[in-house]
């Protein structure tokens, strides 16, 4: 079946603008995760959803970042008033459930460049 | 809170040589997973270890989970250019936490 998809694949925006990133998880996966990966760096956890609720928002860098998930499926990550330090690859992953056997399947990412 | 650390951060290997990358957790883990990210790609699941002292092999890759379930290692034998990429470990305690990764480059 289809894997995790993300859109857009690339986004260039001007400092101060808002951006919205989309993630379509694998069908039937109840858990969804957002990560940020700066150039040459590891994975920075942002937020995860179990169904439509977000039990762990601890990784969101500031109040400019927000995320929602509707219908237990698609999720959007919104960054308001973007800053140059927001430039990174934003990765989404989904897993069948949140728990001990939560193999995560990653999407291709959205490469965000803030000018 | 839970922290997962990987060493080394970078590993430059001569083709044909062996190397090992290590993963250490500040807490006891329920399981540990390994992922590989090719340059320009996204992380892809490789394997999961659950039992204390567990050893699993995938061709030239050997994964080990420590007896105390707080550390793990990935050993690659006879390194090939296809092994290039970043290898992440991810430890599950109450949630999955990723290490910073070991980025492997290979010189022919």
- Give residue for tokens 């039937």: A28
CB contact under 8 Å between B92 and A100, yes or no, is yes
For chain B, report the end-to-end CA distance as a whole number of angstroms. Answer: 41
Q: Which pLDDT score is estimated for B2?
A: 67
> One digit per residue, pLDDT tens: chain B, 108 residues?
668 999 999 999 999 999 999 999 999 999 999 999 999 899 999 999 999 999 999 999 999 999 999 999 999 999 999 999 999 999 988 778 899 999 999 998
What range defines the domain where residue B62 resides?
A: 4-107
Q: Which pLDDT score is estimated for B37?
A: 95
Return the CATH number at B28.
2.60.40.10
Which DSSP category does A25 fall into? P
Tokens describing residue A27: 């069908």
A71 at the B interface (CB within 8 A)? no
Minimum distance, in Å, between the CA of residue B38 and any CA atom of chain A? 12
CB contact under 8 Å between B96 and A106, yes or no, is no
Those residues of chain A that have pLDDT short of 70 are 1, 98-101
Kindly report the CATH number that applies to the domain delimited by A1-7+23-97. Answer: 2.60.40.10
Domain count, chain B: 1
Q: Which pLDDT score is estimated for A13?
A: 97
B21 at the A interface (CB within 8 A)? no
Q: Which pLDDT score is estimated for B97?
A: 87
Q: How far apart are CA B76 and CA B79, in angstroms?
A: 6
B43 at the A interface (CB within 8 A)? yes
Q: Which pLDDT score is estimated for B1?
A: 64
Q: How far apart are CA B97 and CA A48, in angstroms?
A: 12
């Amino acid at each position: 079946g289809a894997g995790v998809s993300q859109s857009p694949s690339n986004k260039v925006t001007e400092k101060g603008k808002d951006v919205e990133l989309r993630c379509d998880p694998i069908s039937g996966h109840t858990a969804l995760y957002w990560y940020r990966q700066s150039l040459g760096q590891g994975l920075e956890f942002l937020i995860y959803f179990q169904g439509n609720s977000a039990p762990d928002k601890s990784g969101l860098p500031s109040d400019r970042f927000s995320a929602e998930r509707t219908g237990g499926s698609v999720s959007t990550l919104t960054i308001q008033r973007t800053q140059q330090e927001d430039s990174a690859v934003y990765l989404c992953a989904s897993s069948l459930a949140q728990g001990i056997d939560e193999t995560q399947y990653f999407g291709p990412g959205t490469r965000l460049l803030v000018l | 809170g839970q922290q997962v650390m990987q060493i080394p951060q970078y590993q430059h290997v001569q083709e044909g040589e062996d190397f090992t990358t290590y993963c250490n957790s500040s807490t006891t883990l329920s399981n540990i997973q390994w992922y590989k990210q090719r340059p320009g790609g996204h992380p892809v699941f490789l394997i999961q270890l659950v039992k204390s002292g567990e050893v699993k092999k995938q061709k030239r890759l050997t994964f080990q989970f420590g007896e105390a379930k707080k550390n793990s290692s990935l050993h690659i034998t006879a390194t090939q250019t296809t092994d290039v990429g970043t290898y992440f470990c991810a430890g599950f305690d109450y949630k999955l936490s990723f290490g910073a990764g070991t980025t492997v480059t290979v010189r022919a």
